[in-house]
Structure 1
Amino acid sequence: MFISDESCLVGFPGFPGPGRTAWRMVERDSEELWYHVRLRIREGEGSRSKKCMPADSAVLAHLLSQQSPDNTIEEVQVVTAPCMNGSNSDRMEKLVSLVIGYDQSGECVLIHKVAGGAVYSSAHNSLDAGSLIDARTIYEDA
């Protein structure tokens, strides 16, 4: 989840459009991963790019389900914390695939494969996609 303080609100409620607000800063307290998605939105003869930051795989899956000829996903990146990626800092890497399934105890597990070849598992005991029950692919880079 992303959080923001009211002091970071830009302008007034409704800016930049109905039902929307603009913020100068958002925060994350969690060590959970999140996503950075670049969309291409066609409007008449032209198009524009839009970037979204889904806080979890459910929101990412919803964004992916909204694709149409006028609304396409150009790139998905995953942002992992040091405890997941084994480094000293967060990493943003191009996502190649995302598989969701369940381990032997029924816990939901996410398997992320990134362009650099690394595979990140939300399970504490590094499961691979082949060992999951009811595994299904949520995202696969075309």
Structure 2
Amino acid sequence: MFRTQNSEIAGLPEMFGEGLTHWNSVSRVLAMHWYHVSVQEFHEGRLITFVHMINDEVRLNDLFTNQSQELIVDDVQVVTPPWMNKSLNWKMEKLMSVSIGFDKNDVVVCLVEVEGGEVYSDTHDRNFDASTLTDLRRIY
């Protein structure tokens, strides 16, 4: 999940609207993947592009479920840490699909497919085999 420090607040809470607070920076403690989602939302009668930084598949699925004429998902990218994408650096890539299922220990595992066909999993199990997941469900 994302975290903020009070010293990074931009302006005053609700200065930019009821229930809103702006931040100069956010951080993450765990090196886990997250989603960068561009959406178009009607706000005060105008269509405005926003970027949502989404922590997990539950919230990503909620965003897809809540799409309407007032909220349109334009683009979804996944940001993955090196251990997950098998490289030396974090990567942000166009997301093609997201599926979740359960491994042999009944732990939820996420599979993300990116543009280019690579499939990454969020498990640290070195012997992981995606074909052994049960109750596999595609959410995007």
Q: Do both proteins adopt the same fold according to a TM-score greater than 0.5, normalized to the shorter chain?
A: yes
Q: Output the amino acid matched with 2:98.
A: L
Q: CA deviation at 1:42?
A: 4.0
Equivalent positions of 1:57-72 (< 5 A) are: 57-72=57-72
| Pair 1:127 & 2:119 matched | no
Count of matched residue positions in the alignment of Structure 1 and Structure 2: 138
- Conserved in 2, the CA contact under 8 Å of 1:42 and 1:48? yes
Equivalent positions of 1:82-97 (< 5 A) are: 82-97=82-97
Unpaired runs of 5+ residues, structure 1, are none
Q: Output the amino acid matched with 2:57.
A: S
SS in 1 for 2:64: helix
Equivalent positions of 1:1-142 (< 5 A) are: 1-42=1-42, 47-123=47-123, 124=125, 125-128=127-130, 130-139=131-140
SS in 1 for 2:138: strand
- Conserved in 2, the CA contact under 8 Å of 1:121 and 1:127? no
- Conserved in 2, the CA contact under 8 Å of 1:95 and 1:114? yes
Q: CA deviation at 1:131?
A: 2.9
How many Å separate the matches in 2 of 1:28 and 1:50? 21
How many Å separate the matches in 2 of 1:135 and 1:87? 26
Q: Could you report, residue by residue, the CA deviation over 1:65-123 in whole angstroms, capped at 9, with x for unpaired residues?
A: 11012211111111000111111111000100001111122111111000021100122
TM-score normalised according to structure 1 size: 0.89
Q: Output the amino acid matched with 1:7.
A: S
How many Å separate the matches in 1 of 2:44 and 2:25? 32
TM-score normalised according to structure 2 size: 0.91
- Conserved in 2, the CA contact under 8 Å of 1:33 and 1:81? yes
How many Å separate the matches in 1 of 2:43 and 2:14? 22
SS in 1 for 2:54: coil
- CA RMSD between the two structures: 1.7
Q: Output the amino acid matched with 2:13.
A: P
CA separation of 1:7 and 1:94: change in aligned 2, threshold 3 A: same
